[in-house]
Amino acid sequence: MASSMAHGVFNNGWSVRTPHPHLVSNKPDIRSWAADTSLGTLSEEALQALESLMSIVDYESGSILFLEQEPLNRVFVVLAGDVRLSLQDVGGKRLTLRIVKRGAVLGAHSALFASPSEWSADTFYACKIALITRGDFLRLSQRFPEVYRLATVELMTTLGHACSTLRIVGLSSCTRRRLASQLLEWGERGNKTGDQTRFCMTLSHAQIAEYIGAVRETVTRALTTFKERGLVTIRGSMLTILSTTALREYAEHGFRDE
């Protein structure tokens, strides 16, 4: 069961005291949706055993699940909502690695190998999360070695996103070019029509800034420039890249008049 109170403080002043999580159920039924997640790779017997160990907890938005370099005594399975994985430097600046959704298994690698987490996790929105104690998860993995695959998927997927972030943040000192690269990456999962790409952008400017190692004001100015240059349009939460070719050219070389 979740501890009655979790407390985390980030160096940049972002202090979050997790409200008392609300225990919902000790017997979740996850088989109806496991097929299209990493849990769908488990055998029916392993999945049933996993279910029997879960306690489902409701977390409010902004709740910290765990912090980087913290040893974990439980594994987290996201059943509903979004969870942010991030890093923080000594100065308090935060860098978002990825947002995980339904079906993500968090902390499995740390639990299996008794290693501290390399990233922090906090709830982006209100979430429903299944908790499994480390002891139970270890016994489950001994009984069903296929459970190790969950830890591998978690680790490799997050490292893949970390490498993508490093390419964007580390290879350009220009915030606008980093933003262009990030928009192109998000656009890969959008709706494409010819050279245009449309996708739903629900992140605030401050949240976008945490993806590219910037500040909110710089993102706001950069997006304004992109709109003025005819690279993107934004209507409500829908962002359209009017020319992926032109935006990619800018991401690689910048504007000629800069």
Q: Alpha-carbon distance 122 to 183, whole Å?
A: 23
Please say whether the beta carbons of 241 and 232 come within 8 A: yes
Tell me the one-letter amino acid at 49.
Answer: A
Please say whether the beta carbons of 183 and 239 come within 8 A: yes
Please say whether the beta carbons of 47 and 31 come within 8 A: yes
CATH numbers and ranges of domains, the chain: 6-168 (2.60.120.10), 172-253 (1.10.10.10)
Percent of the chain at pLDDT above 70?
Answer: 83
Among 40, 36, 240, 2, which Cα is nearest to 149's? 40
Please say whether the beta carbons of 87 and 95 come within 8 A: yes
Range with the poorest average pLDDT among 36-40, 110-114, 129-133: 36-40
> Which pTM does this prediction carry?
0.76
Name residues whose C-beta falls within 8 Å of residue 256's C-beta, 6 or more positions apart in sequence: none
pLDDT bracket for residue 29 (50, 70, 90): low
Please say whether the beta carbons of 20 and 4 come within 8 A: yes
Helix (H) or strand (E) holding 249: helix 244-253
